[in-house]
Structure 1
Amino acid sequence: MARFWHLRWWVLARRHPSAWLLLAQLCGLLLYPALDGMPMGNVLVSVFGAIVLALALWVVSHSPTVAWLAWCLALPGATFSLLAAWRADPQMLALGHVFEGALYFYTAAGLIAYMLQDHEVTSDELFAAGATFTLLAWGFAFAFSVCQILQPGSFVAAVHPEYQRSWMELLSLSFSMLSGVGLSDIMPVRPAARALVMLSQFAGVMYIALVVSRLIGLSILRHGQRGR
């Protein structure tokens, strides 16, 4: 019986790789605040990020993208981020975030291609819709991080405006811009930062308008055909 359940969980995991990536991303939203300010917190965040990168590579292998290119982005990204967390080197952190952000955008592109490749909506494609949104949010958060490292003071807030923004603040800004809510106390004040924020707003609107609306329409069509 135990072997049967183990096999069943393995089959479910292989059928829904996007669900595991989405779960890991959502767990990260709860984990990051708990690690904020802890000794070795940056290292633990980087380790968790490496685990999420491994899941992203797994998802890439199930999507119509080139796996070796994803590995070329993931390995240096994880290496530079771990070294930067250990040495507290902002320049190395920026380099790591460049590779990690590129991998997240590449994985998001692969999932979008996966969702658009047919006219049937599966349960894994619905999980992929959520995972793609979180991938875009993390990707733009990495872009914001690189921007403020290269140009300090790119983002300001009502609380401690002179400080560099934390990872959670940048991630919150990314979610706010992509969702179109715009409810954030973080403001871009430099031209590069404003450009990145506008790109994130455009990406969020186009993703919901083109991808999510298509999945909803196909789901309604499928249920209508079953009803007839």
Structure 2
Amino acid sequence: MLRFIKREPSAVLLGVQLAGVLIYPFLEGDGVSRAVFSAFGVVVLALVVLAVRASPTWTWFALMLGVPATILLIIQAVMNSDALFPYSAALEAVLYFYATYGLIRYMLADHEITRDELFAVGATFTLVAWGFAYVFVVWQAIEPGSFTAAVDPEADRTWMELLFLSFTTLSSTGLSDVVPIDPFARALVMIEQLVGVAYIAVVVSRLVALTVPRAQ
């Protein structure tokens, strides 16, 4: 298992993140759920750092972001409080975007497409979605009421709601019932829309162009 994780970190990261999409809805509520949520976040952070280590970027920079974020998540689990969540979210957002940069360099470093690089296409997409969701968390903490929804519109949006908004925005499906109402929140969403279109147009199209001749 350890050899597989080291050989194909992008595949493992993608699998864990997709599992998180299914697990997160059950981790919103009591203290035990928060603790499990924090523990799962630590695992994802470790995999993100491992993915960065496999890419042509600085591992020490990822550790500089990942270690304090991990400490904050552990404190949240011990104290059974979400007060530090915006601070850990800010660190995680920067780490996820840096990991995105690293994986894109990893995918475009040569003209040979490996199996792990194909998994990196999906892992990079989920990293961007997670990163913007954490940005939304931070901005909601700074400016409460920046996002509303059809259900309980006056309440702060949960992590799962903001992650749902991020995925629907990045994929340009537009199916989210969570919407930004603050001007700067709308600006953040527009930037994510642009990033989603650019990722499909530049990265995915190039990898497809390299994969087709190899298959022929």
TM-score band w.r.t. shorter chain: over 0.9
In the alignment, is residue 160 of structure 1 matched against residue 140 of structure 2? no
What number of residue pairs does the alignment pair up?
A: 215
In 2, distance between residues paired with 1:220 and 1:32?
Answer: 36
Counterparts in 2 of 1:64-213, with a 5 A limit? 64-85=56-77, 86-90=79-83, 92-213=84-205
Percent identity over paired residues: 51
Which residue, out of 39, 45, 50, partners 1:47?
Answer: 39
Contact 2:35 2:80 in 1 (8 A): no
Length-normalised TM-score, structure 1: 0.90
Length-normalised TM-score, structure 2: 0.95
| Runs of at least 5 residues in structure 1 that lack an aligned partner in the other structure | 1-8
CA pair 159-36 structure 1, distance change in 2 beyond 3 A: same
- Tell me whether 10-19 or 111-120 shows the greater mean CA deviation: 10-19
In 1, distance between residues paired with 2:205 and 2:71?
Answer: 38
In 2, distance between residues paired with 1:44 and 1:89?
Answer: 13
Contact 1:157 1:187 in 2 (8 A): yes
In 2, distance between residues paired with 1:38 and 1:28?
Answer: 18
Residue 157 of structure 2 aligns to a residue whose secondary structure is coil
Q: CA deviation at 1:84?
A: 3.5
CA RMSD of aligned residues (A): 1.3
Q: CA deviation at 1:210?
A: 0.4
| Runs of at least 5 residues in structure 2 that lack an aligned partner in the other structure | none
Deviations 1:68-88 (A, max 9, x none): 000000011122233245352
In the alignment, is residue 217 of structure 1 matched against residue 209 of structure 2? yes
Q: CA deviation at 1:221?
A: 1.6
Q: Which amino acid aligns with 1:123?
A: R
Q: Which amino acid aligns with 2:178?
A: I
In 2, distance between residues paired with 1:148 and 1:10?
Answer: 38
Counterparts in 2 of 1:20-39, with a 5 A limit? 20-39=12-31
Contact 1:115 1:128 in 2 (8 A): yes
Max Rg structure: 1
Q: CA deviation at 1:117?
A: 0.7
Q: Which amino acid aligns with 1:88?
A: S
CA pair 11-76 structure 1, distance change in 2 beyond 3 A: closer
In 2, distance between residues paired with 1:156 and 1:28?
Answer: 23
Question: Which runs of 4 or more aligned residues in structure 1 lie more than 4 Å from their structure 2 counterparts after TM superposition?
Answer: none
Q: Which amino acid aligns with 1:42?
A: R
Residue 163 of structure 1 aligns to a residue whose secondary structure is coil
Q: CA deviation at 1:10?
A: 4.2
Q: Which amino acid aligns with 1:21?
A: L
